[in-house]
Structure 1
Amino acid sequence: MASMGTTGTANGGSALLWSGIMELAGLEESKIITVDIQNPVWNPQDQKLQAVHPSTLCLFQGDTLDPDLVTTISAAAATKRVVMVTLDSGHNMEHVLKEMEKYCPLVTVGAYCIVEDTKMSRWHSTGPLMAVKAFLEKHREFESDRSRELMYTHHSMGYLKRIK
């Protein structure tokens, strides 16, 4: 069984993709747990999203840094053999670093935390890439896996593999 946590649901395209991949791979007991600050009930796309993959998708509304929400997601992840995380909500260094501190410990050895949109740091110095660099300085259990970038990516250095 696998679990994937995503932050920044927006219209749910990534959650739908990952959920479909899990089902096609025969991982029906897997869970895609996705969080957005906006209530899913307000967004008709989110309602459709949950209807497409009701067994693998779990939508939460709230602040990704809310301690109660982090506890709930951590408890769900603790029951899974493989846990992967993607972070794509706030895009400033402080927020991304806080999310990394909360959610990266859930990632299992050999799996990834993908920090999305690190390319935004090209335009300002306080973006996700700076958070990745600061995180990696303190957390030797992760390394940036540049082999996952394949020619072009919006997530340079953002594929963080848990190695221990």
Structure 2
Amino acid sequence: MHPSEQFRLERQARLESYASDGAFQTLSRDWLQASMQRQYVYNFDWMGRPIIQYPQDMVAMQELVWRVRPDLIIETGIAHGGSLVLSASLLALLDMSDAIEAGTTLDPRASRRKVLGVDIDIRAHNRAAIEAHPMASRIAMIQGSAVAPEVVHEVRDFAKGYQRVLVCLDSMHTHDHVLGELNAYAPLVTPGSYCVVFDTFVEDMPPKFFADRPWDVGNNPKTAVHQWLADHPEFEIDAEMEQRLQVTVAPHGFLRRKG
């Protein structure tokens, strides 16, 4: 057996064992809760911009982008812009890979690959920092509610002509809002790509864990995902990604479009 295949099989067996390892799952969930109480998720930057994500989920996004090779990533929720910069930098790496393989010169300004961010309130200082960032040529932004009809229309119009689309939902985390986002943007995901729904972990935290937020157990992204999936068999939960990460804010949130 080739060493690479042996390594792949060993990894597969290890991940499958995690699915039945209740103690490890509990430990991972307890650490997520303890770290969230301590605002651990706010500790990181990506290329100089604050990014409100766990390192594990950043790695997961790198794996998905390399696997899918999208030419458009749509993100709801911008905050400081770190996630937009992460996505843009991953698209830049795809362009570099394509150029090396083709033996051509890379011109970032000529790249068609883009990140489109949507947020109801793009604060002026964050917009200025994003627009001044080296990755700015790959980033476009729309201000407005992600579920407002005019914004949905603008996003869909922007997405026309792109061949591979990946979507990340990370704005308002109430059931109704996320359900509206799924209805609006998941249809833009191309077969084999993903709609990643962040903060589904709210359902697994104690009630009132987010006392100052409108979402809670029973009213959050995971409840929206489960309701939406019941009517959308063209999508499935990528359980292996969750098993691999263990510590993630997106359990049941890595949704793969079949095909």
Same topology, TM > 0.5? yes
**TM-score class normalised by the smaller sequence:** over 0.9
Q: Find out whether 1:106 has 2:188 as its counterpart.
A: yes
Q: Per-residue displacement from partner, 1:22-49 (whole Å, max 9, x unpaired)?
A: 11221732110001110x3x33122211
Deviation, structure 1 residue 146: 1.3
Of 63, 84, 94, 1:25 maps to 94
What secondary structure sits across from 1:55 in the alignment?
A: helix
Of 142, 145, 158, 2:238 maps to 145
Which of structures 1 and 2 has the bigger CA Rg? Answer: 2
Deviation, structure 1 residue 121: 1.4
Map 1:29-108; keep pairs closer than 5 Å. 29-38=112-121, 40=122, 42-52=123-133, 53-108=135-190
Of 73, 88, 93, 1:4 maps to 73
Q: Residue 252 of structure 2 aligns with which residue?
A: 157
TM-score (ref. length: structure 2): 0.60
Is the 2:200–2:220 contact (alpha carbons within 8 Å) kept by the matching residues of 1?
yes
> Which range is displaced more, 86-95 or 50-59?
50-59
Is the 1:144–1:160 contact (alpha carbons within 8 Å) kept by the matching residues of 2?
yes
Is the 1:142–1:161 contact (alpha carbons within 8 Å) kept by the matching residues of 2?
yes
Q: Per-residue displacement from partner, 1:86-141 (whole Å, max 9, x unpaired)?
A: 00111111110011000000000000000000001124111110000001100001
Which portions of structure 1, spanning 4 or more consecutive aligned residues, are displaced by more than 3 angstroms? none
Is the 2:91–2:113 contact (alpha carbons within 8 Å) kept by the matching residues of 1?
yes
Is the 1:78–1:106 contact (alpha carbons within 8 Å) kept by the matching residues of 2?
no
- Percent same amino acid among aligned pairs? 33
Is the 1:50–1:59 contact (alpha carbons within 8 Å) kept by the matching residues of 2?
no
In structure 2, list runs of 5 or more residues that go unmatched. Answer: 1-69, 97-110, 208-216
Q: Per-residue displacement from partner, 1:32-73 (whole Å, max 9, x unpaired)?
A: 0001110x3x33122211222232100111010111111111
Counterpart of 2:250, as a letter, is H
* CA distance in 1 between partners of 2:127 and 2:251 (Å): 28
Is the 2:79–2:126 contact (alpha carbons within 8 Å) kept by the matching residues of 1?
no
Q: Residue 64 of structure 2 aligns with which residue?
A: none
RMSD across aligned positions (CA): 1.4
Is the 1:118–1:158 contact (alpha carbons within 8 Å) kept by the matching residues of 2?
yes
Is the 1:50–1:58 contact (alpha carbons within 8 Å) kept by the matching residues of 2?
no
Counterpart of 1:70, as a letter, is V
Counterpart of 1:157, as a letter, is H
What secondary structure sits across from 2:182 in the alignment?
A: helix
TM-score (ref. length: structure 1): 0.93
Map 1:116-131; keep pairs closer than 5 Å. 116-122=198-204, 123=207, 124-131=217-224
* CA distance in 2 between partners of 1:110 and 1:156 (Å): 19
